[in-house]
């Protein structure tokens, strides 16, 4: 199994970091978790793409995590040679989001259907709204979903992917909580979104300070990893974006609480699961 960070950024536009998105390459195919800004540009860099995703999983419906759903939905359809419905998993509200996305795309769908004689079907998705339990079981790959805590955003979920003996958890945006602990127990890799509490408090901007109460700080994520016996902690969705030369500070803040390997995400960072060297 491989974990590829397609976007290590946050809502704030950054020339080096696309929006939140993580690709997990499994024996059941390419599984995409969240689809932030620029996701298909980054997917193209690793030979994947809208038509190649085995399924798309959303952790929650905050705009930074879903902003390029329309691009995936359109490209999967417009580049297909036969109907290819998108398997889409997400918390309750995902079906409404898909419907609204399709409504927004309606003029484009009309243009393309009218113009391309061989494109005779509409885009489509198979939507599953999920909150808890095993939601995908194919060959050696099993995916479990569980509730996280990103209140007042509700509901939000995390995912655990088991492929044979290896396991990866995608936490999404959350504070430490029992639902995430359950997913993380004994996992090889935890991909966790984090913010730097110390820096955000120094800035003192109310709009930014607001994010502290529903995100994990670096120590929070490290404690979750330690409490659950995780092997490797991969920090992503970095707020604020690390200034050049300060990467070590992020790692040091985690290492105070966690003995395992800590890695700071960059776009296209690729991790072989079970191999501690990125
Ligand atoms: Zn969020
Ligand atoms: Zn976010």
196-211: pLDDT as tens digits:
999 999 998 998 899 9
Distance in angstroms (rounded) separating the CA atoms of residues 187 and 271: 14
Specify the range with the lowest mean pLDDT, choosing from 1-10, 234-243, 269-278: 269-278
> Residue 275 pLDDT > 80, yes or no?
no
Instruction: Exactly one of 14, 30, 34, 64 is catalytic; name it.
Output: 64
Distance in angstroms (rounded) separating the CA atoms of residues 251 and 246: 9
Domain contains 203: yes
Q: What is the mean pLDDT of residues 53-65?
A: 98
Domain contains 278: no
Structure confidence at residue 78 (pLDDT): 97
Specify the range with the lowest mean pLDDT, choosing from 100-104, 112-116, 202-206: 202-206
Ligand located closest to 153 CA:
1
Question: Between 211 and 157, where is the model more confident?
Answer: 157
Ligand located closest to 237 CA:
2
Contact present, 161 and 145 (Cβ < 8 Å) = no
Distance in angstroms (rounded) separating the CA atoms of residues 188 and 202: 34
DSSP structure string for 182-201:
HHHTT-SEEEEEEE-HHHHH
Contact present, 36 and 20 (Cβ < 8 Å) = yes
Structure confidence at residue 274 (pLDDT): 66
> Residue 278 pLDDT > 80, yes or no?
no
User: Looking up tokens 């958890």, which residue turns up?
Assistant: 169
Find the 146 Cα to ligand 2 centroid distance in Å: 18
Q: What is the mean pLDDT of residues 141-165?
A: 97
Ligand located closest to 193 CA:
2
Find the 19 Cα to ligand 2 centroid distance in Å: 9
Structure confidence at residue 36 (pLDDT): 98
Domain contains 120: yes
> What pLDDT band is residue 115 in, cutting at 50, 70 and 90?
very high
Structure confidence at residue 196 (pLDDT): 95
Closest CA to 188 of 277, 59, 58, 275: 275
> Residue 265 pLDDT > 90, yes or no?
yes
When the pLDDT of each residue in the chain is averaged and rounded to a whole number, the result is 96
Q: Is the pTM of this model over 0.75?
A: yes
Ligand located closest to 150 CA:
1
Domain contains 238: yes
SS (H, E, C) 36-92: CCCHHHHHHHCCCCCCCEEEEECCCCCHHHHCCHHHHHHHHHHCCCCCCCEEEEECC
> Residue 252 pLDDT > 90, yes or no?
yes
Find the 194 Cα to ligand 1 centroid distance in Å: 11
Find the 193 Cα to ligand 2 centroid distance in Å: 8
Find the 72 Cα to ligand 2 centroid distance in Å: 19
Q: What is the mean pLDDT of residues 250-260?
A: 98
How many independent structural domains does the chain possess? 1
Find the 196 Cα to ligand 2 centroid distance in Å: 14
Q: What is the mean pLDDT of residues 123-135?
A: 98
Protein residues placing their CB within 5 Å of the ion ligand 2: 64, 173
CB-count burial class (<10 Å; 0-12, 13-18, 19+) for 89: buried
Find the 155 Cα to ligand 1 centroid distance in Å: 11
Domain contains 219: yes
Taken in order 36, 37, 42, 48, is the CA torsion positive or negative?
A: positive
Tens of pLDDT, residue by residue over 161-195, are 999 999 999 999 999 999 999 999 999 999 999 99
At 11, give phi and psi (nearest 5°).
-60, -25
Percent residues over pLDDT 90 in the chain: 95
Among this protein's residues, is 64 annotated catalytic? yes
Residue 130: domain span = 2-272
DSSP structure string for 141-165:
EEEEEEE-BBTTB-S-EEEEEEETT
Contact present, 79 and 51 (Cβ < 8 Å) = yes
Domain contains 109: yes
Percent residues over pLDDT 70 in the chain: 98
Tell me the CATH number at 100: 3.60.15.10
> What pLDDT band is residue 276 in, cutting at 50, 70 and 90?
very low
Domain contains 7: yes
Find the 10 Cα to ligand 2 centroid distance in Å: 6
> What pLDDT band is residue 80 in, cutting at 50, 70 and 90?
very high
Sequence-distant (6+) residues with CB within 8 A of 124 are: 77, 83, 85, 86
Q: What is the mean pLDDT of residues 257-267?
A: 98
Domain contains 277: no
Closest CA to 10 of 63, 89, 69: 63
Ligand located closest to 7 CA:
2
Sequence-distant (6+) residues with CB within 8 A of 251 are: 262, 264
Find the 189 Cα to ligand 1 centroid distance in Å: 21
Closest CA to 98 of 58, 38, 130: 58
């Amino acid at each position: 199994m491989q974990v590829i960070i397609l976007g290590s950024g946050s809502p704030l536009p950054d020339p080096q970091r696309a929006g939140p998105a993580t690709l997990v390459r499994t024996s059941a195919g390419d599984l995409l978790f969240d689809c932030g800004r620029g996701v298909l540009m980054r997917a193209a860099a690793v030979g994947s793409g809208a038509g190649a995703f085995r399924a798309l999983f959303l952790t929650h419906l905050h705009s930074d995590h879903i902003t390029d759903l329309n691009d995936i939905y359109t490209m999967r359809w417009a580049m297909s040679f036969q109907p290819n419905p998108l398997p889409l998993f997400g918390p309750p509200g995902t079906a409404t989001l898909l419907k609204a996305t399709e409504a927004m795309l309606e003029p484009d769908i009309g243009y393309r259907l009218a113009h391309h004689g061989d494109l005779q079907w509409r885009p489509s998705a198979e939507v599953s709204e999920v909150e808890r339990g095993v939601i995908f079981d194919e060959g050696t790959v099993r995916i479990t979903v569980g509730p996280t805590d990103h209140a007042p955003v509700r509901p939000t979920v995390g995912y655990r992917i088991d492929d044979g003996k290896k396991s990866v958890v995608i936490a999404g945006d959350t504070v430490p909580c029992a639902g995430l602990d359950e997913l993380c127990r004994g996992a090889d890799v935890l991909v966790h979104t984090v913010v730097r509490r110390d820096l955000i408090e120094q800035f003192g901007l109310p709009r930014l300070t607001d994010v502290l109460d529903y995100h994990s700080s670096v120590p929070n994520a490290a404690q979750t990893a330690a409490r659950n016996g995780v092997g490797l902690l991969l920090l992503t969705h970095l707020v604020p974006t690390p200034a050049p030369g300060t990467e070590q500070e992020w790692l040091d803040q985690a290492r105070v609480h966690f003995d395992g390997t800590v890695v700071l995400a960059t776009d296209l960072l690729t991790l072989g699961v079970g191999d501690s060297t990125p």
